Amino acid sequence: MLEKPLCASIECKNKAHLQCPTCVKLGKNGESFFCSQDCFKKSWGSHKAVHGDTKSPYDPFKTFKYAGPLRAVYPLSPRRTVPEEISRPDYAESGISRSELMSRGSDIKVLTPEEIEGAKKACAITREVLELAAKSIRVGMTTDELDRIVHEATIERGAYPSPLNYNYFPKSCCTSLNEVICHGIPDQRPLADGDILNIDISCFYQGFHGDTNGTYLVGNVDEAGQKLVNVTRECLEKAIAAVKPGMRYRDFGKIIEDHATKNGFSVVRAFVGHGIHQLFHCAPNVPHYANNKAIGVCKPGHIFTIEPMICEGVHQELMWPDGWTATTKDGKRSAQFEHTLLVTETGVEILT
């Protein structure tokens, strides 16, 4: 005897009598039965993904009060795979980096010359992948297509895309459009003429991470948007120019904030630059705003990022229900640039 299936609605254990008509049409039987119209309706938002119907993209956060015009466009594509022979960071399977947790509270690492060589290789790959991604930007392509390009370019070079499953992040890079400050998830949203798009690439190669990002103009961007992008790039350049042994990590913020505010922009406070080497994120913390209390002084052999996020309006953020995408609270645009930097005896070397 065939047992009646159970309702596919979460937390409902009733016997199911109804089947989703779309599933019937598509011949999909898994997860397609419901006990009632009510459960069917309640589950629709997530159930729809079962259809795998990329021709009818939908907003998974329909009732969320978005700050600006951008919407999430689901379903996300299936998780991409990394060949067995590529060495992975410790969170690749578990989602949680034990080594990063263990390192909390540790001093800033001074890398040996051999370690510096390792970090340089990872950073060179990271830069190559960012440039390749940037060159493939086209109006009408989706950010998920960009993610596929990034993923394939990364594994072709024998590297693991650091974002993939880092704290359960679902994709291989971050794509942050317009009002998204950072950590946008590549999805089915097609790029539109006039968008500004940040692509943030991180690669793990033979034990070391590299991290770099840039904001790119999609088609014709208005002058205000171009100015935002240019000033943000200048903020990073000015901060990098100040890197040398003896410089305090707390002092980069003033350089960045002075240049941003002089141009009528604000500086994001919730996300900071970070140490990076065998760990993706570690000491030091590098705030991009003035009057911060960051600990530590630049020493030869330190590797860290500076990655200012600069906004047209307010600096405060609003998190989407996906737990990752951070937009500005007022829905106005934000731009970002990032490099991984090595402190040398005499100054700085940009590794990305």
Among 147, 195, 211, 257, binds Co ion (CB under 5 A): 211
The encoded tokens of residue 1 equal 């005897």
Q: Which residue's CB is nearer to Co ion, number 218 or number 236? A: 236
Using an 8 Å Cβ cutoff, are 172 and 151 in contact?
yes
Nearest in space to 60 (alpha carbons), one of 322, 313, 348? 322
> Is 183 an interacting residue with respect to ligand MF3 (CB under 6 A)?
yes
User: Is 338 within any annotated ligand binding site?
Assistant: yes
> Is 257 an interacting residue with respect to Co ion (CB under 5 A)?
no
What is the Cα–Cα distance from 305 to 200, expressed in whole angstroms? 12
> Is 147 an interacting residue with respect to Co ion (CB under 5 A)?
no
Which listed option, Co ion, ligand MF3, none, makes contact with residue 166 (CB within 5 to 8 Å by class)? ligand MF3
Among 68, 89, 163, 308, binds ligand MF3 (CB under 6 A): 163
The total number of residues shown for the chain amounts to: 352
3-state secondary structure of 275: strand
Candidate ranges 4-12, 37-45, 166-174, 217-225; the one touching ligand MF3 (CB under 6 A):
166-174
Q: Residue 217: is it exposed, middle or buried by C-beta count within 10 angstroms (0-12/13-18/19+)? A: middle
> Is 327 an interacting residue with respect to Co ion (CB under 5 A)?
no
* Helices 113-135 and 143-156, axial angle in degrees (round to 10): 140
The encoded tokens of residue 4 equal 């009646």
What is the Cα–Cα distance from 52 to 307, expressed in whole angstroms? 36
Give, as ranges, the residues between 197 and 216 that touch ligand MF3 (CB under 6 A). 200, 202, 211
Least separation in angstroms between residue 322's CB and Co ion is: 18
Least separation in angstroms between residue 305's CB and ligand MF3 is: 6
3-state secondary structure of 281: coil
The encoded tokens of residue 45 equal 């938002």
What CA–CA distances, in Å, run from 294 to 33, 222, 309, 315? 54, 36, 17, 19
The contact pattern for Co ion, residues 285-324, with x = CB under 5 A and - = no contact, is --------------------x-------------------
What CA–CA distances, in Å, run from 334 to 70, 184, 285? 13, 12, 21
Least separation in angstroms between residue 324's CB and ligand MF3 is: 6
Least separation in angstroms between residue 236's CB and Co ion is: 12
What is the Cα–Cα distance from 253 to 269, expressed in whole angstroms? 10
User: Is 107 within any annotated ligand binding site?
Assistant: no
Q: Which residue's CB is nearer to Co ion, number 43 or number 213? A: 213
Q: Which residue is nearest to ligand MF3 (CB)?
A: 163
Candidate ranges 42-50, 161-169, 235-243, 258-266; the one touching ligand MF3 (CB under 6 A):
161-169
What is the Cα–Cα distance from 291 to 88, expressed in whole angstroms? 38
Which listed option, Co ion, ligand MF3, none, makes contact with residue 169 (CB within 5 to 8 Å by class)? ligand MF3
| Known binding-site residue numbers | 183, 200, 211, 274, 281, 307, 338
Residues in contact with ligand MF3 by the rule CB under 6 A: 163, 166-167, 169, 174, 183, 200, 202, 211, 307, 324, 338
Residues in contact with Co ion by the rule CB under 5 A: 200, 211, 213, 305, 338
